[in-house]
Amino acid sequence: MKWIRTAPHEFDANLLFNEDGLTPFFALDRERKSGGGSKTAEFEHSGQTWLARLSYQDSNIVNPGDETPQGTPFEIEEIKEMRIKVSRRRDEDGVGQQQFVAHVTPRWNGMEGEKQNGQHVEIPVPDGFHEGVNVRVQGANIEFERYLVLLQLAADALDVNAYYFDDVHPFSNIQDAERYVRVHRDSSGPIHARDGPLVGLAHVLESDRDGYRKLVQNDADEHGNKLPGYYHTVTLDANRIGEAWPNHDLPKEVKHYYAREAVQADPDDPLAHPKLGASYQVSRWDDTLRWSDLERLNRELEETVHSVLENAGLDSAPQRGGGAFVEDAYFKADVHKPATAPTTLDLASIKQEQKSVVIEYLSDGLTDVQLESLETLATDGGQVSPDDIADEHGRHVGSVRRALRGIEELVDRGYGEVGLRSDYIGQMVYQAIADARDAVKNAAKTVADTVETDRVGESWAKFQAFCDRYGIDFRRRGDDATLDLGTNDPDDDPNVSFLVRRAYRLWQDANQDPARFRAATVSYRRPHGTGSSYPAFREL
């Protein structure tokens, strides 16, 4: 099956080269001097004409003197850092945004930089690197794997040997990368809607305290013009990404955004329509994305875009020229067959799993300390420690920690802090606890008005509250009693055995006759119409 081909947008990488030591830097310095400070050239690649311009910028690198610590002669009196700007010729690239800058700096073990106050600080280089160059590549709208080829061709056009940039050092790393599609504004609403995938990712996957949480929803441009979906993003760290896409590791930002000119743009102008992009977020994990990981990077970014489109109900494999996509100078809205099929983003399944976890724990019965802890976590809105929970409820902190260990699927614990695993779990827990508290209050008032004084009390109110919460109707006619559970959905409701056993315990706590409950008839119905009726003692 084929899917829409995403286009490359921003890119930022550090390419290290040390096979030829400092020779590439010396060669570039020589060429810029021979050109009086700058030099320009043209070259061809894949039927396209590119321009290369060599220039320089000032540097704070401390001159090593006659030679580097490794013994390499250093004949440059004033160090300048090299800049190579590579861009498509303007008559071929009318937009003028397909380009990159390669910032070339020398590197050697023991090199130093001078701060503005004159202090010298060491500039670290990778272990075993010795001497070489760092090439910081920053560009846009170029396929990621082309940057190295274009750098080599640009160097050759500027009379610097291209082979200096053949062997990329293993420590070369990627700092930023984005792939995108452009979606017609009339079709993109489901992406950024309140029940769309961007909100769903933040709502279902993000913990209050574990990992990085960021959901941005801005529906107005810089001039205050209203534009729904103007800038909506969700950022997930590596752990949360793995929950949504089990075979993904890279932290990412998924974003739906318009250009600044979108409001004023003609409807036929691509800038009038938003982009859906996925970008790598280097600051959201402790690992490093290497140059050798380019294939993995492309796959994860494209799969992310595809699965968000699918989750929003948009066709990610349209016929050419059809569907919800708008072509621009760099996004051609064509389809291709990727190396691996996209991973489905099934937020509904994740929500159901989390809902089932909450129901399971609440159904099995929680201790008072666990309920108090959950209530605090669901209502505090900030960072909470077990000590905070213990202080709030007058408990020993050891009891709180033991209680939290018993509900690990609902909470995240670490670094002396604890929080609910997701906003979605938080909302379900909060509502369940609030309903239970309200039911106790309402039941106590009802009982006070309808039953004998000696049966009015908190214990009986708890039994009534439990019945109200789960829709249980307990009827007594003379010596006969019925425990009617109503419609019981095994996918959404606590199991029948739990309901009967829990009701029995509360009945006993209220000093009611156990024999009368055991003799009652339990009845319930399933959503598809079947039902069951049997003596309560079978569950006890």
What is the secondary structure of 476-514 as a DSSP string? EETTEEEEEEEE--TTTS--HHHHHHHHHHHHHHTT--H
The predicted model scores a pTM of 0.69
- Residue pLDDT, tens place only, 288-347: 999 999 999 999 999 999 989 988 888 887 765 557 899 999 999 888 887 677 677 766
Closest CA to 215 of 256, 264, 268: 256
Dig out the tokens for 362 from the structure: 């609440």
Dig out the tokens for 226 from the structure: 């209203």
Dig out the tokens for 98 from the structure: 């397909």
Residue reference for tokens 């390499």: 72
Summary mean pLDDT of the chain: 83
Interacting residues of 518 by C-beta distance below 8 A, sequence separation 6+: 504, 535, 536, 537, 540
Q: Which of the pair, 454 or 404, is modelled with greater confidence?
A: 404
Residue 451's pLDDT band (boundaries 50, 70, 90)? very low
Please tell me the distance from the alpha carbon of residue 123 to that of residue 105, in angstroms, as a whole number. 12
Residue reference for tokens 């140059």: 291
Please tell me the distance from the alpha carbon of residue 405 to that of residue 366, in angstroms, as a whole number. 12
Please tell me the distance from the alpha carbon of residue 373 to that of residue 413, in angstroms, as a whole number. 12
Provide the percentage of residues in the chain whose pLDDT is more than 70: 80
Judge whether residue 452 has pLDDT over 50.
no
Neighbours of 481 (CB within 10 A): 17
Strand ranges for 7-89 from DSSP E: 7-17, 39-45, 48-58, 80-88
- Residue pLDDT, tens place only, 109-123: 999 999 989 899 999
The region of weakest confidence among 29-33, 415-419, 536-540 is 415-419
Dig out the tokens for 535 from the structure: 């003596």
Strand ranges for 99-164 from DSSP E: 99-108, 112-114, 120-122, 131-140
Q: Are 151 and 86 in contact (CB under 8 A)?
A: yes
Q: Are 226 and 220 in contact (CB under 8 A)?
A: yes
Please tell me the distance from the alpha carbon of residue 158 to that of residue 377, in angstroms, as a whole number. 62
Give the per-residue pLDDT at 8: 97
Backbone φ and ψ for 16, nearest 5 degrees, come out as -105, 140
Q: Which SS3 state, helix, strand or coil, does residue 114 take? A: strand
Please tell me the distance from the alpha carbon of residue 220 to that of residue 441, in angstroms, as a whole number. 45
Residue 205's pLDDT band (boundaries 50, 70, 90)? low
- Residue pLDDT, tens place only, 339-390: 677 677 766 556 555 555 555 555 555 666 777 777 777 666 555 777 887 7
To which H or E segment does residue 234 belong?
strand 226-236
Q: What residue type is assigned to position 149 of the chain?
A: V
Backbone φ and ψ for 160, nearest 5 degrees, come out as -120, 135
Give the per-residue pLDDT at 76: 93
Please tell me the distance from the alpha carbon of residue 89 to that of residue 136, in angstroms, as a whole number. 22
Give the per-residue pLDDT at 63: 94
Please tell me the distance from the alpha carbon of residue 97 to that of residue 92, in angstroms, as a whole number. 11
Provide the percentage of residues in the chain whose pLDDT is more than 90: 46
**Alpha-carbon distances, residue 460 vs 434, 477, 535 (angstroms):** 19, 19, 23
Dmax over CA atoms of the chain, in Å, equals 110
Neighbours of 487 (CB within 10 A): 12
Q: Which of the pair, 284 or 44, is modelled with greater confidence?
A: 44
The region of weakest confidence among 183-187, 332-336, 340-344, 481-485 is 340-344
The region of weakest confidence among 32-41, 240-249, 260-269 is 240-249
Average pLDDT over residues 247-274: 93
Residue 518: HSE in the Cβ half-sphere, 13 Å Cα cutoff: 7
